[in-house]
Structure 1
């Protein structure tokens, strides 16, 4: 990917990351929806379709764009209106289903699970090569607490279409966690099996490091002595090796090319600071150019504030 300039820029939340087309679309949607025009829905749909139709076959970037749009439009009627206008449009169906998932993540439950499942399956039938409907269906299966065989069945449908789908691997990481249907051992086994065959710069390259951050957060959240000793997590062999494997390669220009590379660099910067490896973290902050993702920074406070404070400590080396 083309990283942003290393010149210091004001830190900011940017859900589009470095996707300029998506960033322009979000700004345009904001401006369009404020007009109050009768044709607002048609204008928005045309703008969304134009962006989603770009880069055909780049499932990683399509999933990034669809996911960001789903979060952005989750509290609007636009996705449902688009499906009503174009019931045979796979993107419309997928976006509407994903907005339901986004709302469910905020509120705790799906409004209409049957409808979400139906839209995913219809989208999959219309666009059989696209893994995105199955990615959304995987989230629905998790939210609904479906049987393990069903979850893994959907997971296999994603992999059959996109071997290194980042969203699907993240979803399975959550599903196999102790907080859902698995255990810490299952998470470790999943990550280990992935590492044996995964190329170093695929879209799901951050799974091992993400799992380490999850484990670190679980220690912090327990409170008491375990929280006080949580920093020792990063001196353990598995955590140290996870950082060693990526700390120097990920910041190399052009090494990470997937749509959410800047999100993965946020995870790396956070982990390096937690491990007190500030000099290495400084190089990551420089590559980020001020682009902040809510997770993992928001776990201890306002993400931009936490990012800025960590960046200053990394630059000072103290």
Structure 2
């Protein structure tokens, strides 16, 4: 990953992170999807196809791009138009499935879950080596509360194709949480097993930190006295050690290479500020160059405002 300049830049939400090709595509889609004509659909499909076929075999980058596109197009009919015209196009199947999943998350239920599963399995047949259909199925498993044997079967299909798939690990972390189909003990066991084998700069390196931030948010959500002393979470041994393991390596130029690296740096900067470790957070803000992700900053309000205020406090040491 090419880190951004440390020179102060405008703070902005950037779902594409540092993927400039994806950012250009999002701007183009915004400009061309307003007419709703067949010609517009053709142009958008051609642009999306060109991007998704750009780096064959880079499953990490492919999942990032499909995830961002699905979020961006969730209110559009583009993915349905594409799959209707090309029902055996793997890119069309995956984008439509992921778009349906995004809509399902926002509505609390997945409309036509069986059709989404069928589309994922068709995509898996068309590109057997691609883990992405199985990653989308993990998202379906979470939303539909599949039982654990069935979900772990899908999980194993991902691992067989991409051992350190970031999206898959974050989905399993959510699935195993007490809020979904697991428990706090299962989350701890999952994180421990991963940490024992994972390379320090793997795409899924932020799984443990994500678990700690999620637990911190759960404390804040309880309100009352617990929320007032929530900062104490970061002084507990497991949380402090999770920060210690990554605080001085992740900001080093070139250490994190995966597509979601800037999202992980956002999580680390947030956690360090919550733990009042502002000096350690400063180089992370410099590396981010103003690139903001909605999570985890949105827990405190508007993410851009929260990020900007935290960045100023880190710079001032206050």
Describe the superposition over 1:46-98 as per-residue Cα deviations: whole angstroms up to 9, x where unpaired.
00000000110000000000000000011111001111111111110010000
| Counterpart position of 1:226 | 226
Matched residue SS, 1:178? coil
Describe the superposition over 1:184-208 as per-residue Cα deviations: whole angstroms up to 9, x where unpaired.
1111111011000000001000011
- Unpaired segments ≥5 residues, structure 2: none
Is 1:111 the counterpart of 2:111? The answer is yes
Counterparts of 1:175 and 1:52, CA distance in 2: 28
Structure 1 position 302, deviation (Å): 0.2
Moved more, 299-308 or 136-145: 136-145
| Counterpart position of 1:40 | 40
Counterparts of 2:216 and 2:185, CA distance in 1: 15
Matched residue SS, 2:56? coil
| Counterpart position of 1:125 | 125
- Unpaired segments ≥5 residues, structure 1: none
Matched residue SS, 2:273? helix
Matched residue SS, 1:76? coil
Counterparts of 1:35 and 1:106, CA distance in 2: 26
Structure 1 position 165, deviation (Å): 0.3
Matched residue SS, 1:6? coil
Counterparts of 2:6 and 2:115, CA distance in 1: 46
Structure 1 position 34, deviation (Å): 2.6
Counterparts of 1:109 and 1:175, CA distance in 2: 15
Q: Name the Cα RMSD after superposition.
A: 0.8
Distance 1:228 1:106, change over 3 A: same
Structure 1 position 37, deviation (Å): 4.2
| Counterpart position of 1:313 | 313
| Counterpart position of 1:278 | 278
Structure 1 position 44, deviation (Å): 0.3
| Counterpart position of 1:23 | 23
Is 1:11 the counterpart of 2:11? The answer is yes
What number of residue pairs does the alignment pair up?
Answer: 318
Matched residue SS, 2:257? coil
Counterparts of 2:294 and 2:23, CA distance in 1: 17
Structure 1 position 36, deviation (Å): 4.8
| Counterpart position of 2:264 | 264
Counterparts of 1:211 and 1:139, CA distance in 2: 17
Describe the superposition over 1:121-146 as per-residue Cα deviations: whole angstroms up to 9, x where unpaired.
00000000000000001111111111
Runs ≥4 in structure 1, deviation > 4 angstroms? none
| Counterpart position of 1:201 | 201
| Counterpart position of 2:79 | 79
Counterparts of 1:145 and 1:249, CA distance in 2: 36
Moved more, 218-227 or 289-298: 218-227
Describe the superposition over 1:277-314 as per-residue Cα deviations: whole angstroms up to 9, x where unpaired.
00111110000000000000001100000000000110
Structure 1 position 6, deviation (Å): 1.0
Matched residue SS, 1:201? coil
TM-score by length of 1: 0.99
Distance 1:19 1:200, change over 3 A: same
